Structure 1
């Protein structure tokens, strides 16, 4: 099942980061080692968002990008 976000007049599909993707950057190693399910979703990234095509062109013309990251409840501790 794809995770989506409706933003303006567009629906964007999330780029999903799995728990195992974070192994090299997790600071709390004890916490990381306690998690049994390594393939679970850790967070969702929605990239290059804009309310419409005109806004997207304006954002990109300034060499910017508008992203949203959603972290499911219970992932930070």
Structure 2
């Protein structure tokens, strides 16, 4: 049985280009983000680095949420 999904953001540390940073995302986004990384054979740090490189002027957490959403929409 899966634990309940929290609506509150949860902070996790990531390493991007050798630098540690933290990102706060809701559990549902962390789960989907990890699943995407696993599916694509990437670590979450590698996937975050790809998203970071393409995010423009939005925050990393927002860029990850949008990336997860777009992936889900493509799969529908």
Decide: shared fold, TM above 0.5. no
Provide the TM-score with structure 2 as the length reference: 0.26
Structure number with the bigger relative contact order (C-alpha 8 A, sep ≥ 6) is 1
Give the helix-richer structure, 1 or 2.
2
Largest Rg, 1 or 2: 1
Provide the TM-score with structure 1 as the length reference: 0.26
